[in-house]
Structure 1
Amino acid sequence: MKVWFITGASRGFGLEITKAVLASGDKVIAAVRTPDEFVLQVSNNENLLVVPLDVTNEEQSKKAVLTGHDYFGRIDVLVNNAGYGLLSAVEEASGEEVKKNYDTNVFGTLNVIRAVLPFMRKQRSGHIINISSVGGLTGSIGWGLYSSTKFAIEGITEALALELAPLGIKATVVEPGYFRTNFLDASSLNRTANIIEDYAETVGKMRAFATQVNRKQPGNPVKLAEAFIKLAVAENPPLHLPLGKDTLERYEHKTAGFAKDIENWYDVIIGTDHDDVVK
């Protein structure tokens, strides 16, 4: 039986993963901003502990993790799910809008990782699962700033996996595509107040698309939660886990384009070393 610490557990992926973990018989420390609202969505369960947490608050992150660890005696799986989207042209967003997105998606994730790792290092076991996005694998119109937060999560997780392997702790970054959750609702997606007309044919169309596709996305969040259960029990979990056909197609398109750039610019790429470097 494992003990999971799940951030952003009150809705979307976090809620579905919490339900799936409890159904599997494991224990959950559900970290949420508003515990009272969350409790109404999940029936009483002796394997569930709800703790208040705003991941941007480092001291509250430490307190939530300590409370959960003291209650169940250990933490085996950390799921960093808390985060929100920012739909904007790169130029349109204000510095404050970008900073707030980073405070939650990147620095909030780091706050919880730093709070959990001392316990995992002491027990010489654990699994950190950071939720990224298809936007963490490739940038796209209107999502550049949000994607940059997820690109950061990709790099952080890759480094974590290397640093933690000798300590018996695993790290995985999960890249979901478009799943039928509330991600495109106003509760999880911010749209900038500033709109520049010159981007009407690019970002403007993406704004319209996001509205049209909301609640019609191809991905099934219940099946995503099932994938997390499999991931947590895997003896050799992957470093990267892209979820959804759309994610896989986008990644394959990017890598094919990358390979083509290398082929076309090969001589320039390898021609930048000093002449005394053995080729």
Structure 2
Amino acid sequence: MKTWFITGASRGFGTLFVKEALERGDNVVATARNARAIVDKFGDHPRLLAANLDVTDEAQARAAVEQAVKRFGRIDVVVNNAGFGVLGAIEETSAADVEAVYRTNVFGLLAVTRAVLPQLRRQRAGHVINISSIGGYRSAAGFGVYASTKFAVEGISEALADEVMPLGIHVTIVEPGYFRTDFLDGGSLTTTPSTIPDYADTPVGAVRRIAADLNHQQPGDPARLAKALLQVVDAEQPPLRMPFGSDTVAAIEQKNAFVAGELAQWRALAVSTDFPTSP
């Protein structure tokens, strides 16, 4: 039996992670800004602790971890799932919008991670799962600011994996593509209130139109992802990166091919900047 600590558990992937963990007999600490929403979904379950947690509040994060350990004695799997997106051109995205998405997606993830790591270190065991996105591996027009938060998550996670591996703790970055969740709804995706006409006929305008048409028509099945995550959690040597969705796999392959080709084209100039080697 494992004990999970899941943020953003009141909807979307978070709710599905809670469901899968409970159904297989694990303990779950499910957190959200309004924990009542979790209780309404799952009822008074003996292996479920619903806790209020605004991930941007470090004191609240520490309190939620203390509640978890007091109730279940340990934490085995941490899922940093809380987050939201912002859709708009870089120029259209206000400073307030940028700060808000970073506060949750990056600083909130860091706050929860810092709160839970002392317990994982004491155990000399645990698995931190940070929910990124295909946007954390390849950015795209219209999602530049959102993708930058997920790039930050991936950079943090890579370093964290090296830091905690000697302590028996694993780190996995989960990279979903387009899945049929409520991510494209107004509650999970902020659209910049002001638009610049010049961007209407650029990829930014196209993305705005595609996002509206794609909502609840995405190719990925969230329930299948939630079940697949169990295999990652149970792996003796879990992956650092775990992409989910055929669209994600295709995007990674495309970017890897582009980077390799560009590097080959410019390699001679790249290495020419070293000091000359002695004969």
TM-score range relative to shorter protein: over 0.9
The whole-number CA distance in structure 2 between the counterparts of 1:217 and 1:113 is 30
Match of 1:221?
222
Shift of 1:15: 0.3
SS in 2 for 1:121: helix
- Say whether residues 1:37 and 2:37 are aligned partners: yes
**3-state DSSP class of the match of 2:5?**
strand
2:237 aligned partner: 236
Does the CA-based 8 Å contact 2:20-2:226 persist in structure 1? yes
Shift, 1:87, TM fit? 0.4
Alignment of 1:180-259 (within 5 A): 180-201=180-201, 202-259=203-260
1:11 corresponds in structure 2 to: 11
Is 2:279 aligned against 1:268?
Answer: no
The whole-number CA distance in structure 1 between the counterparts of 2:70 and 2:233 is: 22
What does residue 165 of structure 1 align with? 165
- My pick for the range that moved more, 266-275 or 74-83, is 266-275
The percentage of counterpart residues that share the same residue type is 51
State the alpha-carbon separation in 2 of the partners of residues 224 and 66 from structure 1.
Answer: 29
After superposition, what is the alpha-carbon deviation per residue over 1:51-77, rounded to whole angstroms, capped at 9, x for unaligned? Answer: 000001111111111111111110010
Displacement of 1:44 in angstroms is 2.7
Q: 3-state DSSP class of the match of 1:40?
A: helix
Amino acid at match of 2:104: T
Please tell me the residue identity of whatever aligns with 1:233.
D
Structure 1 runs of 4+ aligned residues shifted over 6 Å read none
In 2, distance between residues paired with 1:155 and 1:262? Answer: 21
Task: Mark the CA change 1:271 to 1:116 in structure 2 (over 3 Å): closer, same or farther.
Answer: same
- Check if 1:79 corresponds to 2:89: no
**Structure 1 CA distance for aligned equivalents of residues 74 and 218 of structure 2:** 36
Task: State the 1:40 CA deviation.
Answer: 1.2
Aligned AA (1:236): Q
Question: Structure 2: how far apart are the matches of 1:43 and 1:230?
Answer: 26
Q: Deviations over 1:107-128 (max 9, x none)?
A: 0000000000000000100000
2:134 aligns with 134
Which stretch shifts more, 176-185 or 38-47?
Answer: 38-47
Q: Letter of the 1:112 partner, please give it.
A: V
Letter matched to residue 8 of structure 2: G
| 1:111 alignment partner AA | A
The answer for the alignment partner of 1:55 in structure 2 is 55
1:91-139 per-residue CA deviation (whole Å, 9 max, x = no partner) reads 1111111011000000000000000000000010000000000000101
Gaps of 5+ in 2: none
- Tell me how far 1:227 sits from its aligned partner: 1.3
Q: Deviations over 1:18-72 (max 9, x none)?
A: 1000001000000111122221111331110000000011111111111111111
> Residue in 2 aligned with 1:2?
2
Matched residue type, 1:99: E
Q: Which amino acid aligns with 1:221?
A: P
Measure, in 2, the Cα distance between the counterparts of 1:70 and 1:120. Answer: 14
1:229-277 per-position Cα deviation (integer Å, ceiling 9, x unaligned): 1111110000000000000001111111111101111110111111137
Counterpart of 1:97 in 2: which secondary structure?
helix
Counterpart AA for 1:192: T
Counterpart residue type for residue 16 of structure 1? L
Instruction: Classify the secondary structure of the residue corresponding to 2:200.
Output: helix
Distance 1:240 1:269 in 2: 28
For 1:208 and 1:69, the matched residues in 2 are separated by: 46
Distance 1:69 1:189 in 2: 33
| One-letter amino acid of the counterpart of residue 228, structure 2 | A
- TM-score of the aligned structures, taking structure 2 as reference length: 0.98
- Structure 2 Cα separation of the partners of residues 184 and 153 of structure 1: 20
Q: List runs of 5+ in structure 1 lacking aligned partners.
A: none
TM-score by length of 1: 0.98
* Aligned-residue offset at 1:208: 1.1
Q: Hey, what's the Cα distance between the residues in 1 that align with 2:76 and 2:243?
A: 22
